[in-house]
Chain A
Amino acid sequence: MKKYLSFFRLRFAMGLQYRAAAFGGIATQFTWGAMEIMIFRAFYRSDASAFPMSFSATASYLWLQQAFLAFFATWMMDGDIFDSIVNGDVAYELCRPVSIYNMWFSKGLSTRLSRAVLRCFPILTVAALLPQPYGLNAPASPMHFVLFLLTLILGLLMTVSLCVLICILAFFTISPMGLQMVFTSMTDFFAGALIPLPFFPENVQRVMELLPFAAMQNVPLRIYGGSMSCYEMQKAVFLQIFWLTAITFTGKMLCRLAAKRITVQGG
Chain B
Amino acid sequence: MTHVIQGNTGDWELVVGIEVHAQIISKSKLFSGSATNFGADPNTQVSLIDVAFPGMLPVINEHCIEQAIRTGLALKAKINLTSVFARKNYFYADLPQGYQISQYEYPIVGNGNVVIDMHDGSTRVIGIERLHLEQDAGKSLHDQHHSKSFIDLNRSGIALMEIVSKPDIRSSEEAINYVTKLCLILQYIGVCNGNMSEGSIRCDVNVSVRKHNEAYRTRAEIKNINSIRFMSQAIDYEARRQIDAYERGLQIRQETRLFDPKNGETRSMRSKENANDYRYFPDPDLLPLTLTQKYVDAIKEKLPELPDERKKRFIDNYKLSSYDACLLVAEQSVADFFESVAKGRDPKMVCNWMMGDFASAMKRMTRTIDNPPVSADNLGELIDLIYKNTISGHIAKEVFLTMIETGKTPTEIVIEKELKQVTDSDVIEVSVDSILESNTNKVIEYFNGKDKLFGFFVGQVMKATNGKINPVILNEILKKRLESLKVLFNEDNDLL
Determine if chain A interacts with chain B: no
